[in-house]
Amino acid sequence: MKKVKKNMMNEKVILTDVDGVLLDWVYAFTQWMERHKYQEVENGETEYDIGLRYGMETELEKERVVRMFNESAWIRKLPPLRDAIKYVRKLHEEHGYVFRVISSLSTDTYAGHLRTKNLNEMFGPTVFESFVYLDTGADKDEALLPYEGTGCFWIEDKPENALLGRKLGLESILVDHPFNKNSFVGDMPRAKNWKEIYEFIVGQ
């Protein structure tokens, strides 16, 4: 991958995860799991790991179930997370920001196509400049490396990925969820919703 140089364009680029950031993956996944007769364990909502959340016995079962969901037709209709639509559009339409997606969804071509359709339909056809779909649960090191030192904003809900972005010189913002409330991320900004992300970005 080519390294992206710091320039005026990159000051208007926001890198973003999708699940738990733009779209409410957990809500849809919970509905899907109930249809497949899975039940969360007590206080399961505080666990990021789906295997722990549902008391699965093996890593293989967890990976199989998450991949099945991510490659299903449900990915086409995930709802937006909280107030994402309003403030993502404001950043794009009123302030000129464009978004680049980096999502550990699946390498299945059709799953990626469904996700792109979902995002463009809800947020608008000009908001997203590019889409990078990594394998289910994949690390994001390689996808973020081209942006090292650019200072681009990086919006994530997984603390490890947000910390990785900071290590690479990005402006990471962690989206709050029950499963990351107690994760240590130092003085990294946390946001309960996109209104707070918007205010942080435009206030720079």
Determine the Cα angle at 110 with ends 72 and 60, to 5°: 50
pLDDT confidence of residue 9: 44
Report yes or no: 195 and 87 within 8 Å, Cβ to Cβ.
Answer: yes
| Residue 93 phi, psi dihedral angles, 5° rounding | -80, -35
- Determine the Cα–Cα distance for residues 179 and 185; give it in Å rounded to an integer: 14
Return the pLDDT at 10: 55
User: Cβ of 12: how many Cβ atoms within 10 Å?
Assistant: 16
- How is 77-129 classified by DSSP, letter by letter? GPPBPTTHHHHHHHHHHHH--EEEEEEES-S-HHHHHHHHHHHHHHH-TTSEE
Q: Of 64, 52, 123, 130, nearest to 92 (Cα)?
A: 123
Alpha helices, DSSP H, located in the chain: 25-35, 50-53, 59-70, 84-95, 109-123, 141-144, 159-167, 194-202
Q: Which residues does 24 contact at the CB level (< 8 Å), separation at least 6?
A: 78, 79, 80, 81, 82
Taking residue 50's Cβ as centre, other Cβ atoms within 10 Å add up to 21
Q: Which residues contact 63 (CB under 8 A, 6 or more apart)?
A: 136, 137
SS3 203: coil
Print pLDDT tens along the chain (204 aa): 455 554 434 579 999 999 999 999 999 999 999 999 999 999 999 999 999 999 998 999 999 999 999 999 999 999 999 999 999 999 999 999 999 999 999 999 999 999 999 999 999 999 999 999 999 999 999 999 999 999 999 999 999 999 999 999 999 999 999 999 999 999 999 999 999 999 999 986
